[in-house]
Structure 1
Amino acid sequence: MPASPYSDLDRPPLNPRNLERALITADGLWTRLDLRRETASTNADAAAAARAGEPEGLVVVAERQTAGRGRLGRAWSSPPRAGLATSVLLRPGVAVPERGWPPAPLTGYGWLPLLAGVALVEAVVRLAELPAGLKWPNDLLIGGAKCAGILAEAVPDGEAPAVVLGIGLNVTLRADELPENPTGLPATSLQLSGAAATDRDPLLRALLRAVADWYGRWREAGGDAQACGLREAYVQHCATLGREVRVLLPSGEGLTGLATAVDADGRLVVHTAGVDHPIAAGDILHLR
Structure 2
Amino acid sequence: MDHRQFIAGLSAKDRADLTAKSDSKGLLALGFHFGGILVCGGMIAYGIPGWPLLMVLQGILIMFLFTLLHETIHRTAFKTVWINDWVARICGFLILLPSNWFRYFHFAHHRHTQDPDHDPELAGGKPDNWWQYIVYVSGVPTWASEISTLIANAMGRCRDGFVPSSGHKKVRHEAIVSLAVYCALVFVSVAVRSDLLLYVWILPCLLGQPFLRLYLLAEHGRCPFVANMLENSRTTATNALVRRLAWNMPYHAEHHSYPAVPFFKLPALHKLIESHLTSTSDGYRQFHKDYVTGFSEHNTPHSKPGA
Q: Quickly name the TM-score band, shorter chain normalised.
A: under 0.3
Higher strand share: 1
| Larger relative contact order (Cα-Cα within 8 Å, sequence gap ≥ 6) | 2
Q: Which has the larger radius of gyration?
A: 2
TM-score normalised per structure 2: 0.23
